[in-house]
Structure 1
């Protein structure tokens, strides 16, 4: 009988490429198999985006990598230092923004550490506010600060921009690109947005029925221009892999 194995690598000195290694991963809920003998590698510092229709297994895979789901079989190797940001910021309404950022860290709440993270995401001036007064974009920035303050080697992002308006979403995408280049951590982003995938990724993986069906390298220079014909070509290829007509 197959068993699950979730191993962690504890320090950069012990962390040979790849940062993430998944082999023969299977996840079943009752009689429905969501992940089917899935294999995945993510190199140190690589930005990988997962695309796919709802229900294809993207978020299930991310939750397993985050150690939020252990009901799988196969082998999963991830760094010990990892952090997650979800579509909903999940801020505690009874704690100020800076206390939300360091929530769960060992020791006494470190305001200086929280402030550094909040300044990095551009909302240091909101540190002493309550979450209810934040805009959607500010709340998502606070969620990113909470992830980054943990200095992760792997940052897991589960559709973090989906609820934002178009302009705020563009600003958040640019921010994530800047923070990724600054911190150098590996990133796995789950999204439905093909343009977002081409804007941010080193590599895009298209999931279908619990497996990775397609892999597309995005070798465009950064920052990327949506008006670039090469950008449009990659976008069209990905749409085709998703079953949408080229260029639609």
Structure 2
């Protein structure tokens, strides 16, 4: 029987607590007895091959999938940004940012968050006129405007070109430094994990098979020897040659 509990965080409570999580698509479970604990303010990156259950876990934590067994405890204030920005094309950027919030659309609130992600100058733009990087920043602003205690990011940089991706990664790191909410970032990108995480989880066949704390100073560069060493270690954990 599934339990999905939303609650306010206390200073000692985990940001996320999952016990015995099971999710099946057909006769075989994709997630089977998964346990997970995320701490408040922790930036966690979840790595794994396609189809291993990463995005399924994120959707469950986001409250988008309830067909589960087990216990899932998450904050009341949580938000998610996906690889596809999912902006409403008939609404200007600022209205997309506050879409779904109670009460009348608050432009001032939207502009404050758009300023945080460097997109204030595009508040009155239509989504179709945005670049890929701008659309992802608008999607991030829409998540941040909810003041989340848990920010869930599902491959948010996957469709961006290499240079825009680096800029977006840096932005997310800066936002986390300011807000210090718990973050769970799902990605295939090992370098992204090494640059952003203070904890890396590796998932395989619906189970978390490796849990590695990352105690490296920020900001980090891809050429830093410690980052290179971590990247090689994670590639080995994923079964990929790092040579």
User: What TM-score results when the alignment is normalised by the length of structure 1?
Assistant: 0.96
Q: Return structure 1 stretches of 4+ with deviation > 4 angstroms.
A: none
What is residue 125 of structure 1 aligned with on the other side? 121
Q: Deviations over 1:79-98 (max 9, x none)?
A: 00000000000000000000
Partner-residue secondary structure (3-state), 2:164: helix
Give the Å deviation of 1:43: 0.3
State the alpha-carbon separation in 1 of the partners of residues 18 and 62 from structure 2: 13
2:42 alignment counterpart: 46
Partner of residue 64, structure 2: 68
Q: Give me the whole-angstrom Cα distance separating, in 1, the residues matched to 2:226 and 2:192.
A: 15
Equivalent residue in structure 2 for 1:200, among 192, 196, 199: 196
**Which secondary structure state, in structure 2, belongs to the residue aligned with residue 196 of structure 1?**
helix
In structure 1, distance between residues paired with 2:13 and 2:223? 34
Unaligned runs of 5+ in 2: none
Alignment RMSD, CA only?
Answer: 0.9
Residue 213 (1) aligns with residue 209 (2): yes
| CA 1:163–1:228: 2 relative to 1, 3 Å | same
Q: CA deviation at 1:157?
A: 0.2
TM superposition shift of 1:185: 0.4
Q: Which runs of 5+ in 1 are unaligned?
A: none
For 2:222 and 2:128, the matched residues in 1 are separated by: 34
Q: What SS does the corresponding residue of 2:193 show, helix, strand or coil?
A: helix
CA distance in 1, matches of 2:204, 2:32: 10
Deviations 1:96-140 (A, max 9, x none): 000000000000000000000111100101000100000000000
CA deviation after TM superposition for structure 1 residue 225, in Å: 2.0
**Number of aligned residues:** 243
| Aligned pairs for 1:1-248 within 5 A | 3-10=1-8, 12=9, 14=10, 16-245=12-241, 247-248=242-243
